[in-house]
Structure formats: structure tokens, C-alpha cells
Amino acid sequence: MRKTKIAVLVSGGGTNLQALIDAQGSTLVSGEIALVVSNNAGAYALERAKKAGIETAVVLKKELGSQEAFEAKLKEILTEHGIEVIILAGFMTILTESFTACYPKRILNVHPSLIPSFCGAGFYGLRVHQAALDYGVKVTGATVHFVNEIPDGGEIIAQKAVEVLPGDTPEVLQRRVMEQAEWILLPQAAETVCAQLNKQTN
């Protein structure tokens, strides 16, 4: 059976990458992770990829000098590996329209809130959970969406709600959202997108 080739873009620990690796062969059957790319040479996510026998690459903006050169290098690596779908899993670089337009409905991102709440420029990591707690919402969650030129602005693929509990700290809430939503939703959404692509290309 043909499998859609996936690249996962990472910057840090790679917990969402691990969820995708673990889902291969169970939830994620229509696609396979062919490449993991990081914009941080010290990202633990690269170790996770190596342990799973997945090829890795590092692309550093500071070495390349500009966002344009960074995205050109990224595109070159993705093309070399025949990548069809890109998943942003804690990737801390905003991609411009000149990049995202090359992969319409082919780039997925997971965001740790129920978009349109607590999203957009500046909302990432613990900041999102702090904002949810500050606002006093009783329910938060995660959203997987397609990526376009607007941060967190692309079409929503899937969402899952997670309860906010009394006494939650941003760290505690972050962990619950990961375990109950992100790690489940992301492989499911990847499967949906890859299965659709396979139908189109068969």
C-alpha cells in the first residue's frame, strides 16, 4: 500500500513527534514519517527521530542569514525526500506565505487551545495555557489546523476539548491538554489528510 511521505518540523523536546511515531501502524497507516527537520541543532526531538530510525536534518536561519534563505533550504530538503505532507510539531518559526503557498492543505499544525481562543501571533507554549487560566475558561483543548500565512489562521481539521480543573497551573494544564488532546488528535488528523491524498493520487 502506498504511504504518503510526511516530514515533521520540530524545535524542542518532540513530544508530539513521539505521539506520531508511536501511532505509525495503528492510527497512522496511510502515511509514514520519512524525515524530521529541526531549526535547533540541540532539539531532543532529533534524538527521538534517530531512535526510531527516521532521517533527520537541521536547518539554521542564523547560518543562512534570512527567512527567505531558510525557507528555500527547507523546501530543497523536503523536495529531495519526496515529502508530501508537513506536520509542525512545536516548530518555533512562523513560515511565510511564499513557503505555505507551495503546500496548500499539506501543512498541519497542532495548537494547544480551541481556536479561535488564545491563538495567533505570540500565543505558543505555556503562554496559551496561562491565557486560558487568566481568562477563567472552564474548557480548553487542542486544535489541528492547516497552516497558511496567518498564524493559527488556517482551516480547522479537528478539535478536542479538555476540562480546566481548579488549582491548575499552566504546566499542569499543558500536560493534560497534551495527553488528552494533542497526542490523540495529531495522529488522527495526519491519517485523515494522508488517506485523502492517497485517494487523489491512486
Active-site annotation, residues: 111
Residues paired with 139 in a beta bridge? 163
**Neighbouring C-beta atoms of residue 199, cutoff 10 Å:** 9
Note whether 86 and 7 are within 8 A (CB): yes
Q: Are 129 and 177 in contact (CB under 8 A)?
A: yes
Rounded distance between C-alpha atoms, residue 120 and residue 153, angstroms: 7
Q: Tell me if residue 189 falls in helix, strand or coil.
A: helix
